[in-house]
């Protein structure tokens, strides 16, 4: 039986260097770093099936950004703990029932979800082996998206009164947290002609069920300095899953090259 654990929302900031000295800053139109190849309508809306033999072309799985928003109420309830007049066993039962709660499109956290993750692979023609990055123990998450959501400039000033134009960038990062699942991402006996066609199309498919705390977020802030007048902030949003399998597949054709 899955148990709910209480996890606090963490705010992480790194402070150093400049402070902002002017209120009137020049706003620059935000632009996205990662581009979607297919429309939002192509995202999955049903529970994933691990028994399928191949994926549809351009398969992108579920929309992690949408699911993050839909799971927030469950995360809030899980983190709130036991109620004032609630017995411990009643509290635990109620929290465990969150896994059966329908939170979006008839789906519960205990349904199976799939997330498409970008990956870079290499190829060795002598051994006819394609290999993608190996993940070391302690690896905690996969990045689903990395988007620039705000950009502007302002005049910064340090404690000595030195002023300098500062570039400010704000990013939204969406990550899939896992349970230290380490896949084998090597494909053997793949001939050079085939490898040449597919190597730039390879993606990972993370499949799993949501676990407490379901979602969480933190904020990282890196202040500018005289030598590097760049102010960067990142809003990190995490979806917590217990991985069932990780697949390596050709995004263009849907052919599955490896299941872990």
Q: How far apart are alpha carbons 65 and 186 in whole angstroms?
A: 29
pTM assigned to the model: 0.79
Residues 6+ apart with CB under 8 A from 216: 7, 9, 10, 75, 237, 238, 240
* Domain extents in the chain: 19-34+54-259
**Vertex 39, ends 34 and 45: CA angle to 5°?**
110
Per-residue model confidence (pLDDT) at position 11: 33
User: At 21, is the pLDDT very low, low, confident or very high (cuts 50, 70, 90)?
Assistant: very low
Lowest mean pLDDT among 88-102, 141-155, 174-188: 174-188
Q: What is the pLDDT of residues 195-231, one digit of tens each?
A: 999 999 999 999 999 999 999 999 999 998 888 999 9
User: At 139, is the pLDDT very low, low, confident or very high (cuts 50, 70, 90)?
Assistant: low
- Cβ atoms within 10 A of the Cβ of 88, count? 8
Say yes or no to pLDDT of 174 above 80.
Answer: yes
């Amino acid at each position: 039986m899955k148990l709910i654990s209480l996890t606090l929302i963490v705010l992480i900031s790194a402070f150093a260097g400049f402070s902002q000295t002017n209120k009137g800053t020049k706003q620059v139109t935000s632009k996205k770093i990662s581009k979607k190849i297919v429309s939002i309508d192509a995202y999955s809306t049903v529970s994933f099936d691990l028994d399928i033999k191949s994926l549809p072309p351009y398969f992108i799985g579920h929309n992690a950004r949408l699911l993050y928003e839909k799971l927030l109420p469950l995360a809030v309830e899980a983190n709130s703990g036991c109620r004032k007049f609630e017995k411990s066993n009643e509290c635990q039962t109620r929290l465990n029932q969150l896994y059966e709660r329908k939170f979006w499109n008839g789906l519960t956290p205990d349904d199976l979800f799939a997330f498409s993750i970008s990956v870079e692979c290499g190829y060795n023609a002598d051994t006819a082996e394609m290999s993608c990055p190996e993940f070391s123990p302690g690896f905690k998450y996969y990045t689903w998206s990395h988007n620039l959501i705000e950009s502007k400039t302002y005049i910064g000033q340090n404690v000595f009164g030195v002023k300098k134009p500062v570039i400010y960038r704000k990013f939204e990062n969406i990550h899939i947290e896992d349970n230290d699942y380490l896949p084998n991402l090597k494909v053997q006996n793949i001939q050079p002609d085939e490898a040449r066609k597919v190597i730039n199309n390879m993606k990972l498919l993370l499949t799993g069920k949501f676990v407490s705390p379901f979602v969480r977020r933190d904020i990282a802030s890196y202040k500018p300095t005289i030598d590097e007048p760049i102010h960067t902030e990142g809003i990190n949003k995490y979806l917590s899953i217990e991985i069932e399998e990780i697949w390596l597949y050709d995004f263009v054709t849907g052919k599955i090259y490896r299941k872990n």
